[in-house]
Amino acid sequence: MHRDRSQTKGWGDVKKPPGCETACKAVLSVSSDHEDRASLEGIVRSDWTVIPSATVASALSVLREAPIPIVICDD
């Protein structure tokens, strides 16, 4: 399956939410714990997109690609 690298670069397997190049209604979750992500998705429900990132390095890569207004880290 071919992926458009402009939409996945730095985002792992997660596609950027539409319109995320200028303003993004997303939360970046920096945690290696999958339960953290699931809990956060339950809190924000369908109002926000939760972008998972297991490491700080991958989170920085995501932030270079799009302005995500909220970052939540486990440590």
Q: Is residue 2 predicted with pLDDT exceeding 60?
A: no
Task: Kindly report, residue by residue over 9-68, the tens digit of the pLDDT.
Answer: 455 566 666 556 545 688 999 998 888 888 988 998 878 888 999 999 999 998 998 888
Cα 9–68–11 angle (5° rounding)?
20
Q: How far apart are the first and last CA of the chain?
A: 35
Per-residue confidence (pLDDT) for residue 48, from 0 to 100: 86
Query: What's this model's pTM, rounded to 2 decimal places?
Result: 0.67
Q: Is residue 71 predicted with pLDDT exceeding 80?
A: yes
Residue 75 or 19, more confident: 75
- Candidates 18, 17, 6, 19; CA nearest to 28 is 17
Distance CA 34, CA 20 (A): 23
